[in-house]
A and B are shown apart, each in its own frame.
Chain A
């Protein structure tokens, strides 16, 4: 698969970054760089998260109690801060996922009204 060119990358919808971070952390603790890489890889390079938005977003989630963090050592032997989901974070992820499905469904119905195809 060819890498998408920069102008093909998609901007994130408002509010979805939080959900993506929570979702990424469902597989286990990860540091900021890893989260960014994971989102990028999972979206086949379509979504590229700016570090300038990623880090504040993770701090925001930590402040709200959905994430907790601790210092650890990365695979490459670098000191890094690892984030992991809290119980509240898991509940929040469920809520956001539901809301997201509703939103996608609603937008889909508007864009592709039943019977128009």
Chain B
């Protein structure tokens, strides 16, 4: 049985008692006998230790010594509370941020998808770099061509997004739905949690309409109600039966609530969809055939695509430079988030380095203050290992506390970062704080602790020990180290500040951009018409809505349109080619392109867009009367620089529009760019709503609070059509704010990091200077005594601070550009900040450094001469 410490002590005590007894019996006095017994025994702790060592391994002994050291360390840190608190908080910020961001990176970029066998699941994309279209999607004839010829892919799944008015689950509303063929779920490798998914039997125009619910919709909107299976729901003009619920999975390519078969969408059965080679709205997925590699599939897709383009050269303009690419689905899903997450990870890493170097500085300064103590311990026989162990114990206490606090911080951090990252990848939504955070936190803390324990130098065994020294002595080497750390902090903070400055500058530029129309008072609402129903009934409906809403109190003007600026960007297709009588494209030049918009008569009045020439649309521009259009100034000036655009005739040349209809230009309005927040010249052609019939957006110019009108507008519309959805009411100003949210969040998050870094760096600079001042009290006293003015001392300390900052900023600029150069090789879309953010970052750092230097500088100038000279 292992003896414990009490056993060992008892045994020794017994030995001493017996020896004393023997000596007393021999005639010695009890007192002398006891002392002699003790003397003969030798050093009791050493004997007990060597007995212990028989039973307990060496590591256990070291660990126990460390525990002892940690207890001592914790006690000694309690005497330096300010320093300890600074270190713990600094480390906690660094560790917490890193742990949180790494959790999100892991959850978004590294976690596998639920899709079966995701390694063979690829996403196929068609793009037209020449038109600036990065994802053109596919048309049905194109998909048919690929399917017929490709051998490296065993199956294809297609998905198109359609907006349906959904009736059957509560209030009627417009939902985004996926329309897919029967092979989709098999290709995606997804399973149902309830019922069944779509299969080949659901294909074809004569199949019954069926729909699958996504897991999120089923759980959040339907309370996971299992009885929905078999329920009949209305999808636009058709009905469908709910047949199953999909397992939780990344909704890609679109976050839809339901996924239905082809027959539910009349549009999918029409000639435009089935035969229109340029009518592209379908996303394409594929499964690699057994044995085929991604490379082989890419090569084959490219060659087949080239052949297809040359066979149908009338449908593919040479200028578009059409391309086809294939990527693993996971890469495709995570790519938008990759850059931003890696940027965040890098920022968090930089903050951690700054935190560590600051903590190193504090610990270095502390160890200099206690050089005397260490020297005494060394003189008493403590080995270098024991001294190092003391330092390690202290830094373990500090870093351990920092890690605990950091891991606690990580939870709210993860919530914040994942809601932020959800803008870029839906996967971020279900990132949770998991055990990895603990490991990361602990790992970072251990790394920091070991590093920090090796920062201070130990008192040298040779040479003069610090025993005689009573004050703080600062050797040039140590001073250099302190400054080096402070400079590094400044340099790294500068990089973060400059990055944040760049993002803020971008955001400010975006927000100060005037759109060229009224935003604050204009309310935009989605009031969608049934898809494909362009009849006169619809026109009457919108006209009645316009009339009745216009009569509401507080409404200045009402108009119908087809496109809410910014919000509808991407939902209305690319620009359309057209021709104008009197304008001949130069040789080899393609037809000009313009954005097609449909607006009702008072649209330009509602948005406050000035008319440059000609007239507005009127109620007389209706079906059967002369076909007319209004063009934007860019169209007029680019095609007719001499100003004779009015009354020319134009027609769309895209085959999608069928036989060209000549339309007369009756007006010219000023440019507005409703797609980009940063305005660019916009080629726009507006059609009168009553001649086209397609609209779906209502714009209301309010005299008071626009949102106060929403219930009344809803009521008016519902009076006319009970099942009519009225959704997404927002002022144009808020629409733009919503569109700018990612930019704002980017700027906010990076600025947050930069702020933390700045704070830490300031503490660092102030600490180094304050320490320098306290170490040089005597010197300052002497200088004051021989005639220096306090002012000159103040300036000398300030200039020391500025020297650290200047060197730091210079290093930051050099290092930042070098890093950006390296990073540009791995991450696309790296931009370098302009002069303004750089100057601003330098100014902020400089200013903060002056503030940080002031306190120690003031202390230097207030040194009491007599006390300083007497102090040693």
- Chain A residues with CB under 8 Å of chain B are 31-34, 37, 50-52, 55-56, 59-60, 63, 71, 74, 76, 78-81
Interface bits B18-42 vs A (CB < 8 Å: 1, else 0): 1101100000000000000000111
B42 touching A51, Cβ below 8 Å: yes
Q: Which residues on the A side are within 8 Å of B22 (C-beta)?
A: 33, 37, 76
Among residues of B, the one whose C-beta sits closest to the C-beta of A73 is: B14
* Contact across chains for A55 and B51 when beta carbons are under 8 A apart: yes
Q: A32-B11, A33-B19, A51-B40 are in contact. List 7 more A-B contacts (CB 8 A).
A: A33-B15, A52-B41, A52-B47, A56-B51, A56-B54, A78-B17, A80-B18
A79 near B51: Cβ-Cβ < 8 Å = no
CB-based nearest A residue for B17: A78
Contact B53 A56 (CB under 8 A): yes
State the CA gap A32–B51 with chains docked (Å): 13
Cβ of B225 within 8 Å of any chain A Cβ, yes or no, is no
With A51-B42, A51-B47, A78-B21 as known contacts, state yes or no: A59 contacts B54, CB within 8 Å: yes
Residue total for B at the interface (Cβ-Cβ under 8 A): 23
Is the CB–CB distance between B3 and A59 below 8 Å? yes
Q: Could you jot down 15 A-B contacts, CB within 8 Å?
A: A32-B15, A33-B18, A37-B22, A51-B15, A51-B41, A52-B43, A55-B15, A71-B10, A76-B18, A78-B18, A79-B10, A79-B14, A80-B11, A81-B7, A81-B14
**In the complex, which residues of chain A have a beta carbon less than 8 angstroms from the beta carbon of B11?**
32, 55, 80-81
B55 → chain A closest CB, angstroms: 6
B171 to chain A, nearest CB (A): 81
Q: Which residues in A have their C-beta under 8 angstroms from that of B135?
A: none
Q: How far is the CA of A51 from the CA of B19 in the complex (A)?
A: 11
Complexed CA–CA distance, A78 and B3 (Å): 19
Question: What residues on B are CB-neighbors of A59 within 8 Å?
Answer: 3, 51, 54-55
Q: Most chain-B CB neighbours within 10 Å: which of A32, A50, A55, A63?
A: A55
User: B46 near A: Cβ within 8 Å?
Assistant: yes
Other-chain contact of B55, A32, A52, A63 (Cβ < 8 Å): A63
Determine whether the beta carbon of B50 is less than 8 Å from that of A56.
Answer: yes
Number of A-B residue pairs with CB-CB distance less than 8 Å in the complex they form? 64
Closest to B12 in A: A55
Q: A51-B47, A76-B18, A78-B21 are in contact. Are A60 and B54 (CB under 8 A)?
A: yes
C-alpha spacing A51/B44, complex, angstroms? 10
A34 — which chain B residues lie within 8 A by C-beta?
Answer: 18
Contacts of B14 in A (CB 8 A): 31-33, 74, 78-81
Least CB distance from B580 to A in Å reads 103
Of all chain B residues, which has the CB nearest A74? B18
Sorted nearest first, the 4 A-B pairs with minimum C-beta distance are: A80-B14, A59-B54, A76-B21, A33-B18
Give Cα A34 to B18, complex, Å: 9
- Closest chain-A Cβ to B6's Cβ sits at a distance in Å of 12
What distance in Å separates the Cβ of A65 from its nearest Cβ neighbour in chain B? 12
* Contact partners of B50 in chain A: CB under 8 A: 52, 55-56
CA of A33 to CA of B19, assembled, Å: 7
Q: Please give the distance in Å from B789's CB to the nearest CB on chain A.
A: 67
The docked-state distance in angstroms from the alpha carbon of A37 to that of B37 is 13
Nearest CB in chain B: distance from A34 CB, A:
8
Nearest CB of chain A from residue B106's CB, rounded to whole Å: 48
Chain B residues with CB under 8 Å of A60's CB are 54
Q: Which residues of B contact A76 (CB under 8 A)?
A: 17-18, 21-22
User: Which interface residue of B3, B47, B54, B55 has the most chain A CB atoms within 10 A?
Assistant: B54
CB distance from B283 to the nearest CB of A (A): 73
> Which of B7, B18, B42 sits near A31, CB closer than 8 Å?
B18
Residues of B within 8 A of A33 (CB): 14-15, 18-19, 22
Q: Given A63-B55, A81-B11, check contact A55 B18 (CB 8 Å).
A: no
Nearest Cβ on chain B to A74's Cβ, whole angstroms: 6
Are B18 and A63 in contact, CB atoms less than 8 angstroms apart? no
Alpha-carbon gap, A15 to B40, bound state (A): 23
Q: How far is the CB of A43 from chain B (nearest CB, A)?
A: 17
* Measured CA separation A60–B51 after assembly (Å): 8
Contact with B54, one of A32, A63, A81 (Cβ below 8 angstroms)? A63
**For the complex, what is the distance from the CA of A111 to the CA of B49, rounded to whole Å?**
40
Query: Which residues of B have CB within 8 Å of A81?
Result: 7, 10-11, 14
Complex: how many Å from CA A71 to CA B3? 12
From known contacts A59-B51, A59-B54, A81-B11, infer whether A52 and B42 are also in contact, taking CB-CB under 8 Å.
yes
In the bound complex, residues from chain B placing their C-beta under 8 Å from that of A74 are: 14, 18
Contacts of A80 in B (CB 8 A): 11, 14-15, 18
Residue of B nearest to A55 (CB): B51
> Quick one: which of A37, A52, A60, A63 has the most chain B CB within 10 A?
A52
